[in-house]
Amino acid sequence: MTRFFIGILLLFGTAVLGGGDSVAPTVAMAPYYGMNSSAGHTFVHDGVALYYEVYGTGEPLLLVHGNGGSIASLAAQIEYFRQRYTVIAMDSRDHGRSGDSADPLTYEKMTDDLAALLDHLEVGPVDVLGWSDGGIEALMLGMRYPDKVNRLVAMAPNLNPSEDALYPETIALMRDTLDSISPEERETPEGRREFKATEMMLVEPNIDASELETIEAPTLIMVGDHDVIRPEHAVEIYEHLPNGALKILRNAGHTAPQDDPARFNRTVERFFRKPFDSETADIDVSNPRLRVQNAGLYY
């Protein structure tokens, strides 16, 4: 677990304790997924060895983890969706068991890696579920490779690293994390990875909202009402999607996929089965942190 992720838990995690019908993920799953030799494979793209695992049978579903994470971060999602989908999950370059790249990390490169994985497996179009940085990559996959995408769910993505998208304390945490990695640590494999991943978050992504209008796939944007992503920013993303839906999770933070996997997974599956099923949203506009009065369609 990276310093930034620990900081997120300290800053925002306590805000949602006791809320909702949370069900903690099975801890024993995490060491299994991401280190399962019977399900693991490697292929090379752009000079980087990329590690992935495949589980289950059914329609293909691509899972994309967040910054500093790995396949294991999505253990609760793999365990749930493998019962009815062919679940594909990959460690991003410079993450997990995948190889390191010589150049700086970019969301474009990681998105291209995902497209190369689908080509390697000869599958598609696929449903895509991305969390955090993985949500950014999911949106970019829809923009850059529309023929590879069936339906998209992006949990807590952002289009830019500004205070329009992120809370000031989130940006400060990124900077503090970067500063805390000493020159000596940056020469170690683990420190070099953490520095590259954190540095990327401070300068990327740089997606103009109008670019989202090219995404043809039905797309669900999810965000917690105590997330590191401003709910107003999630609304902005939703409003630029031609076939978009929005879900703001009550009493939930950035780590909802792990903190409350039962509710999170049900919401995602409902969208995949019936993308625009209109129901009362799990939203509380009276929450002082939720400065959204009318976002149009709430899924």
**What is residue 290's predicted lDDT score, i.e. its pLDDT?**
41
* Contact (CB, 8 A) for 114 and 139: no
**What is residue 55's predicted lDDT score, i.e. its pLDDT?**
97
Q: Is the model's pLDDT at 294 over the cut of 80? A: no
The dihedral built from the CA positions of residue 283, 286, 292 and 293, taken in this order, carries a sign that is positive
**What is residue 299's predicted lDDT score, i.e. its pLDDT?**
47
Q: Which residues contact 17 (CB under 8 A, 6 or more apart)?
A: none
Specify which residues 61 forms β-bridges with. Answer: 87, 127
pLDDT bin (cut points 50, 70, 90) of residue 276 is confident
Task: Tell me the pLDDT tens digit for each residue of 78-118.
Answer: 999 999 999 999 999 999 999 999 999 999 999 999 999 99
CA distance 82 to 167: 35
Mean of the pLDDT values across residues 159-185?
Answer: 95
pLDDT bin (cut points 50, 70, 90) of residue 12 is low
State the angle between helix axes of 168-180 and 3-12 in degrees (0 to 180), rounded to the nearest 10: 150
Torsion of CA 235, 236, 242, 247, to 10 degrees: -20
Sheet arrangement for strand 40-45: 40-45, 48-55, 85-90, 59-64, 126-131, 149-155, 219-226, 244-253
Q: Which residues contact 45 (CB under 8 A, 6 or more apart)?
A: 112, 113, 116, 117, 120
